[in-house]
């Protein structure tokens, strides 16, 4: 099982192939995903790289964190597990919750 890494401050000009090539110098890369905005399709400046081994992942963090790649200083760390996202129906608040008009309101 591979080790997933968070890669932050990725240049907006970088492609997944560029990131794969960079991390392949360290070890075997299983997957690369640059996160994009759902509406515009533009990159958000961060992504994830999955290395084939724990050793390669640790070496990638040690060798690439803080290095400059396409004019940006990369932030490379172990990826944290994704937290569940709150859906629209889970949000509370708003304009009184539909309880009807208050006394004194016309």
Place of tokens 């905005």: 37
For residues 37 and 23, give the distance between their C-alpha atoms in angstroms, rounded to a whole number.
24
Whether the Cβ atoms of residue 14 and residue 34 lie closer than 8 Å to each other = yes
Q: How do residues 45-96 score in pLDDT, each as one tens digit?
A: 999 999 999 999 999 999 999 999 999 999 999 999 888 877 665 555 555 5
In degrees to the nearest 10, what's the CA dihedral of 35, 17, 81, 84?
Answer: 30
pLDDT for 81 equals 86
Exposed / middle / buried, residue 14 (Cβ in 10 Å: 0-12, 13-18, 19+): buried
Place of tokens 């907006």: 12
> What pTM does this model have?
0.76
Q: What is the DSSP letter of 62?
A: H
What's the average model confidence in pLDDT over 10-32?
A: 97
Domains and CATH numbers, the chain: 3-79 (3.30.70.330)
pLDDT confidence tier of residue 102, bands split at 50, 70 and 90:
low
Pairing of strands 3-8, 75-78: antiparallel
């Amino acid at each position: 099982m591979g080790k997933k890494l968070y890669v932050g401050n990725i240049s907006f000009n970088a492609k997944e192939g560029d990131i794969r090539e960079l991390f392949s110098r360290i070890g075997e890369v299983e997957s690369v995903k640059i996160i994009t905005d759902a509406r515009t399709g533009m990159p958000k400046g961060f992504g994830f790289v999955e290395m084939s081994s724990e050793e390669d992942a640790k070496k990638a963090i040690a060798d690439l964190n803080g290095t400059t790649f396409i004019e940006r200083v990369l932030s490379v760390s172990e990826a944290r597990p994704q937290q569940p996202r709150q859906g629209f129906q889970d949000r509370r608040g708003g304009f009184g919750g539909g309880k009807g008009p208050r006394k004194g309101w016309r």
